[in-house]
């Protein structure tokens, strides 16, 4: 017999002996003793050996990410007209409104005073914004925002949640670890953690969005691309580095309106340095002795029966241009009050307000209907100067036969010095 065959037989024999021995050993103690069972089950894991920079960062910052709730008022109204003709789509219903939870996003606590960073689209159109920390719900104030950059700063005075440290997003490196914490798909998945890498920096992402007055526009923002999973509800949360520093705000992912096409592992975060100017403004306005929780919208509008005798006015006739107006629905015109007439000797005429202009803001307060405009004007006396922002289309909307005739326009800022003027009907 050849040596090679002999060696093969010997190896096979040894293998059979080992298998037989293991089988005998496995069945040697039956039933198993309590000591043997304890030896199998009573094990420990040494966290000092499994811990890594990601787990250390998460332990520092995860409790600083909160739920942001967006409440909105809805009304049951009977509408007449189709939105561009008679009535401009104004409601003529019973006036009953209810406040309901409209959306949920994420936010990150960034100061020990209760400032929270989130996305503007998380709190957009809210009548009330609250913050939920997993146990309690707190009413929040919106103290600063930029709709174009999709950033908002909230304030919850006395919020007892640790603040995270802000990083320097200009120092990010491609391939660096990206830790995303937020509330994907709502509160059931609160403070979920996903981990990936920074896929790319300085990505220009063009989005079609709606400005703060309801008019559609195309904007381009510079974003951080990551492959950590980002889903609906993550918006406004935190993108951290392994030091636990907040480096970005998760804002969009590869599905839906933010991105044309459908792709996996593409998420977008706003660099934290883009938010720092807004945070600075919010901190400069902060007064710890006077802040009180509040809501996003102004106080309740005045009733139609308000006595305007001897009150300063703009001197215009106007109509509310609401969300139901066809031009507003299509994003051609913003919400606000469209000017139908201007008195020749009025403060409005002196400031340059024209028929067809749409007033969208008074002294920084967004105007969505005539009663809100009236309320802001009544805060002032004769001789006071107010800041008026209006939208002026290329063609007077009141004269346009079709929406396509209106064309592009521009926002204009004017200063109007109020005076007491005669009070024709339906004027303000």
> What b-and-e string marks burial along 232-244, b requiring 16 or more CB atoms within 10 Å of the CB?
ebbbbbbbbbbeb
Please identify which of the residues 62, 64, 169, 235 carries the catalytic annotation. 235
Q: What is the mean pLDDT of residues 241-260?
A: 78
Pair of tokens at residue 256: 């839906």
Q: At residue 81, does pLDDT exceed 50?
A: no
Phi, psi of 50 (to 5 degrees): -95, -20
Contact 143, 268 (CB under 8 A): no
Q: Cα–Cα distances in Å, from 379 out to 6, 232, 320, 349, 376?
A: 107, 41, 20, 21, 5
**Is 112 one of the annotated active-site residues of the chain?**
no
User: Which helix (H) or strand (E) element contains residue 328?
Assistant: helix 326-329
pLDDT band at 96 (very low <50, low <70, confident <90, very high): low
Q: How many CA atoms within 13 Å lie on the side-chain side of 421? A: 21
Q: Note the pLDDT tens digit of each residue in 170-186.
A: 999 999 999 999 999 88
Alpha-carbon distance of 140 to 137, in angstroms, equals 9
Q: Where are the alpha helices (DSSP H) in 2-64?
A: 3-26, 34-41, 47-50, 53-61
Q: What angle do CA 193, 118, 140 make, to 5 degrees?
A: 115
CA dist 120 and 55 (Å) reads 30
**Mean pLDDT over each residue of the chain, to the nearest integer:** 79
CA distance linking residue 370 with residue 41, whole number of Å? 72
**pLDDT at 409 > cutoff 60:** yes
Domain boundaries, the chain: 58-163, 166-282, 312-420
Specify whether 150 is catalytic. yes
Of the candidate CATH numbers 2.40.10.10, 1.20.140.10, 3.40.80.10, 2.50.20.10, the domain formed by 166-282 belongs to 2.40.10.10
Annotated catalytic residue, options 64, 106, 133, 150: 150
Domain 58-163 identical in fold to domain 312-420: no
**Which residues, in sequence order, are bridge partners of residue 338?**
319, 358
Pick the CATH number of 58-163 from 2.40.50.420, 1.10.10.10, 3.40.190.10, 2.40.10.10: 2.40.10.10
| Catalytic-residue membership of 235 | yes
Whole-number Cα distances in Å, 386 to 76, 185, 297, 415? 34, 43, 19, 6
* Pairwise pLDDT comparison (29 vs 169), residue with the higher score: 169
Q: In whole angstroms, what is the distance from residue 68 CA to residue 107 CA?
A: 6
Catalytic residue among 62, 115, 121, 322: 121
Tens digits of residue pLDDT in 173-221 = 999 999 999 999 888 889 999 999 999 998 877 666 667 777 776 667 7
Closest CA to 252 of 224, 272, 275: 224
Confidence label for 303 from pLDDT (cuts 50, 70 and 90):
very low
pLDDT digits (tens, 9 = 90+) for 123-175: 988 888 999 999 999 999 988 888 778 899 999 988 989 999 999 999 999 99
> Strand, helix or coil at 187?
helix
Structure tokens at 16: 């059979």
What CATH code would you report for 312-420? 2.30.42.10
The whole-number pLDDT of residue 48 equals 87
Burial of 363 (0-12, 13-18, 19+ CB in 10 A): middle
């Amino acid at each position: 017999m050849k040596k090679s065959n002999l060696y093969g037989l010997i190896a096979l024999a040894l293998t059979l002996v080992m298998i037989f021995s293991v089988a005998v050993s496995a069945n040697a103690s039956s039933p198993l003793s309590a000591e043997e069972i304890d030896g199998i089950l009573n094990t420990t894991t040494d966290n000092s050996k499994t811990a890594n920079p990601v787990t250390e960062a998460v332990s520092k910052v995860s409790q600083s990410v909160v739920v942001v709730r967006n409440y909105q008022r809805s009304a049951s109204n009977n509408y007449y007209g189709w939105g561009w003709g008679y009535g401009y789509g104004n409601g003529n219903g019973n006036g009953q409104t209810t406040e309901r939870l409209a959306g949920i996003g994420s936010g990150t606590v960034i100061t020990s005073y209760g400032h929270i960073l989130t996305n503007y689209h998380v709190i957009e159109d809210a009548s009330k914004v609250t913050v939920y920390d997993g146990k309690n719900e707190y009413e929040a104030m919106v103290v600063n925002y930029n709709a174009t950059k999709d950033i908002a700063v909230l304030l919850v005075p006395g919020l007892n949640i640790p603040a995270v440290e802000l990083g320097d997003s200009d120092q990010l490196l491609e391939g660096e670890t990206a830790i995303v914490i937020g509330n994907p798909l709502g509160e059931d998945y609160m403070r979920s953690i996903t981990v990936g890498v920074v896929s790319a920096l300085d990505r220009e992402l063009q989005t079609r969005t709606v400005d703060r007055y309801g008019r559609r526009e195309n904007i381009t923002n510079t974003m951080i691309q990551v492959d950590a999973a980002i889903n609906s509800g993550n918006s406004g949360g935190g993108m951290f580095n392994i030091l636990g520093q907040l480096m970005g705000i998760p804002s969009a992912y590869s599905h839906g309106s933010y991105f044309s096409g459908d792709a996996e592992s593409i998420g977008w975060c706003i660099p934290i340095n883009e938010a720092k100017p807004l945070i600075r403004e919010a901190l400069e306005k902060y007064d710890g002795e006077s802040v009180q929780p509040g809501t996003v919208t102004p106080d309740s509008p005045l009733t139609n029966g308000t006595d305007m005798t001897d009150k300063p006015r703009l001197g215009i006739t106007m109509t509310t241009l609401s969300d139901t107006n066809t031009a507003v629905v299509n994003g051609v015109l913003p919400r606000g009050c469209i000017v139908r007439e201007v008195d020749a000797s009025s403060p409005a005429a002196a400031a340059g307000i024209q028929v067809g202009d749409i007033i969208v803001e008074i002294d920084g307060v967004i105007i969505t209907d005539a009663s809100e405009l009236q309320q802001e004007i009544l805060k002032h006396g004769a001789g006071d100067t107010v800041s008026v922002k209006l939208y002026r289309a290329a063609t007077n909307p009141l004269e346009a036969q079709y929406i396509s005739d209106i064309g592009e326009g521009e926002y204009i800022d004017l200063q109007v010095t109020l005076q007491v003027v005669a009070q024709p009907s339906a004027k303000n």
